[in-house]
Structure 1
Amino acid sequence: MTTATLHSYDVEAAARDYPRVTEALNYLGDRWQEHPDLAEAARAAGLSPHHFQRVFTRWVGVSPKRYVGALAHGAARDAIDDGASVLDAAFEAGLSGPGRLHDLFIAHEAITPGDAKRKGEGLEFTWGVAPTPFGDGVFLIAPRGLSALAFTDGRSETGFEDLHARYPAASYLRDDHEARAWATRIFERAGERIPLALYGTQWQRQVWRALLSIPPGATTTYKAIAEQVCTAKASRAVGAAVGANPVSFLIPCHRVLASDGRLTGYHWGVERKRAMLTWEAAG
């Protein structure tokens, strides 16, 4: 399993830094559209830029610049989803133009603003339904590999709707024979490398890579994954990225448990999660 060297941040230090970090969060929350520089944010917290950068990053889990970028990206994404042009979305994010918005989207989502606005337009997928050890699987296949695997309890349309919502403007061709071929590769040919064509934010793909490091038969926790990719404080953000995992079973979000060991929060049902873990343990 991939390991990470973790920094220590005890409760007393976190409590001591809390008032200054709160001031900084309030300041950045009110002024993020102005994209304040490090010196401005540090003055609001009453710290030197170097000390502020260290304290903020340690407490929040990301740098002040990255935090502001996330707020700007979220506002621009909402504007695009509401039908705004790329130029208007750039202004909504407090940016000078589409060029800077392009850089922001590549950094946070690994796609361009135009790609986001097109909602999958230009992408061509094959999809189909095939039996798996865990009920019918709905497979979404891109030219470069498998993009999604969902599960359904006898209603293939429900599984397809879940996948279609990710890329509503893409083209889809149903081919159950192709889906059966992928099911055979995944569930009957042990050890075969399965090509994945993933579309997600940089953060999501970082979490998904961490999931891939969990070996079959093992489990971990959301907190442990958060510590591996950045800091334990990011457990909630990790949970959201785990929940957005498009390729069930292969990207093994079913191996992530609550801190107390409970089987919680599996999109395709806790019963299916338990069955997957039992099947792997028996293998």
Structure 2
Amino acid sequence: MEHSIKSMGHYQTIANAMAYIRANTTKQPSLDELAEHACMSPYHFQRVFTEWAGVSPKKFLQYLTLQHAKAVISQTGNLAETADHCGLSGTSRLHDLFLSIEAVTPGAFKQLGEQLRLKYSINTCHFGNYMVASTEKGICYLHFFQDQFIALAELQQTWPKAELVQANDEHHVQVQAFFQNTNLQGAKIKLHLQGTPFQVKVWEALLRIPEGGLTSYASLAQHIGQPTASRAVGTAIGSNAIAFLIPCHRVIKSIGGIGEYRWGSERKMAMIGWEAARNQVQIEQLPEQLSMF
């Protein structure tokens, strides 16, 4: 309780810091500069900002820079000019920024998927038929569908200039193994996210909800440091293009009820029940596993 009360005193300081970062995004302020503006040591500012915002000051600045860079690229189409507008030292830093947050180059973003090759495949699991698509970077699309032609049209709409090829790759195989509850031998399924900084922030928060766990839209908004943004959080969840792997099904209404789901409320209930059963089995097996050591 003491820690929470103490932390509440930092709200205005961090709110001012966020406003300062927004106003000075193109100047790329350093951590030392931000800490000095907040009258804190760099270490203390980093810790308090991350606690409140859910991301580090550097990541927050990167999100804003990326948003600005997208706007400039859309207007000018010039990468060097975009880097200069954003206060970056050159196109290599712009390139690194896009790759680190969205796993796509600024050139690929400029072309809206042109010259980008997407592999897609049709599969089935206990939640129904699904279409999965990937780039070289990872899974960019996973939809449950009733009509595969509609699903394919939605995929093409999301990546309008990309080349679509029906084929499997290692990312697809990992998704199939995941749904079949097959041991992935330590491999992690990589995701290729395409969204606004706010959407990506919400999706990252979803990935932190453990299997079998549930949260509310209001709690998720609170978790990302924007307690009044429940509606915006709901919109970002509804924009998620990667079903189940980004577990938006684990968010329900705080006043009761399962809540809406892009791929159907019934499927959402089935997912929640399936995970709850899996989690219960793991709990029941735990004492036996412990007794082996």
Q: Is the structural similarity TM-score above 0.5?
A: yes
Selected match of 2:151 from 136, 139, 159: 159
Structure 1 residues 259, 91: CA separation in 2 closer, same or farther (over 3 Å shift)? Answer: farther
Cα offset, 1:98, TM superposition: 0.4
> 1:72 and 1:136 mapped to 2: Cα distance?
38
Comparing 84-93 with 117-126, greater Cα deviation is found at 117-126
Question: Unaligned 5+ residue runs, structure 2?
Answer: 195-199, 279-293
> 2:100 and 2:272 mapped to 1: Cα distance?
35
User: Would you say 1:140 and 2:129 are equivalent positions?
Assistant: no
CA contact (8 A) 1:61 1:234 kept: no
> 2:114 and 2:2 mapped to 1: Cα distance?
45
Question: Unaligned 5+ residue runs, structure 1?
Answer: 1-6
2:83 maps to 90
Cα offset, 1:145, TM superposition: 7.7
Cα offset, 1:170, TM superposition: 1.8
Equivalent position amino acid for 1:219 in 2: G
Structure 1 residues 106, 17: CA separation in 2 closer, same or farther (over 3 Å shift)? Answer: same
Selected match of 1:74 from 67, 88, 94: 67
1:168 maps to 160
Selected match of 1:191 from 182, 187, 201: 182
Q: Secondary structure at the match of 1:121?
A: coil
Structure 1 residues 52, 135: CA separation in 2 closer, same or farther (over 3 Å shift)? Answer: closer
> 2:138 and 2:47 mapped to 1: Cα distance?
41
Structure 1 residues 146, 65: CA separation in 2 closer, same or farther (over 3 Å shift)? Answer: closer
Comparing 111-120 with 187-196, greater Cα deviation is found at 187-196
> 2:188 and 2:7 mapped to 1: Cα distance?
42
Cα offset, 1:107, TM superposition: 2.7
CA contact (8 A) 2:38 2:45 kept: yes
User: Would you say 1:263 and 2:258 are equivalent positions?
Assistant: yes
- The one-character-per-residue Cα deviations of 1:81-139 (angstroms, maximum 9, x if unpaired) are 45622222212322232022122223322332223223333343344556665555334
CA contact (8 A) 1:23 1:44 kept: no
Structure 1 residues 68, 147: CA separation in 2 closer, same or farther (over 3 Å shift)? Answer: closer
Structure 1 residues 82, 9: CA separation in 2 closer, same or farther (over 3 Å shift)? Answer: farther
> 2:48 and 2:275 mapped to 1: Cα distance?
42
Give the alignment's TM-score, normalised by structure 1. 0.69
Structure 1 residues 136, 29: CA separation in 2 closer, same or farther (over 3 Å shift)? Answer: same
CA contact (8 A) 1:108 1:203 kept: no
1:253 maps to 248
The Cα RMSD (Å) is 4.4
1:117 maps to 110
Give the alignment's TM-score, normalised by structure 2. 0.67
Structure 1 residues 93, 133: CA separation in 2 closer, same or farther (over 3 Å shift)? Answer: same
